[in-house]
Structure 1
Amino acid sequence: MLEQIHQHKYHLAWIAGVLIVLGLWMKWLGFYAWRDGFLMAATVAAALPIAIKAWQAARMKTFSIELLVTVAVAGAFLIHEYMESAAVTFLFLFGDYLEARTLKKNPFIFKAIGGYGPAGSDLASRRRNPQKNGCRSRPGRKQAGSPPGRQNTG
């Protein structure tokens, strides 16, 4: 069940978005009880994957952003601020969706902006071993980016 929720968390985000729009439409029409119902349903739909991740982090005794969001949403829900709780959960899942989409589109973005990739990445290994991939310099000459006073022993 938990695996299915995580597989479909972006669908839950879109469902929550539609429920928020319906809730705002009900407010405009004057059906305030329906508005609260739609907003509560949106909160539950979007908060479910967030709360599961928060629970998993809490079981591992770690403090996570999901835990903070869950506490904030529970507080807003308890004081009957359904619009805020629905908006926070929807925006959190929507941000997660955008992040995953960006990383899926270009997984090497961090390598391209200065070698901030994993330690075993190609760019990081080239910095440690400048002779890899034809990047050679003559012995006794400074390499670009080497600290002052350091000579190439090559």
Structure 2
Amino acid sequence: MFSRRLRWSLAGAAAAVLALAVASWITTGDDPRHAAYVTVLDLLAMNDPAVGERDGRQILQLLARVMGLLSLPVMVAAALEALGTFRTALSCATRRVDWPATSSSSDWAKSVPTSWPDCANSTSPSSASNGAGIAGLALAQRLDTLGWEVVVLEKAPG
């Protein structure tokens, strides 16, 4: 789902979190699960400051928070890439609507063909319009005139 570069970035971030959790476990002597929990809280900057605790714990908290700041662009890139992947998958699942001469909703709903476009060779943007009411049909018609591939989804055609 993600690109190779993003997968390596996520793997590197996970390895850094694991290393910080192990270092926290060794330096504090806490249970490994608690050390991992505290590391994740520190990473997300949700934990209380380690004021008055050992120097090792304070340094680990500082490193975890810096790691959290450094991993933020990677997480945003992952979210954007995932949304792009889902958008591409949605556009490959759309169908072309051939607009009829009349504007009644039953004619519009019947005009959706059953053939699917070839996504590998498609160069036009795609969209789905929910409902064959006045607004849905107007939106679908406008997108079609702009060169978009559109599918109109109607709950009760006819």
Q: Structure 2 length as normaliser, TM-score?
A: 0.28
Larger radius of gyration: 2
Q: TM-score, normalised by structure 1?
A: 0.28
- Structure with more helix by fraction: 1
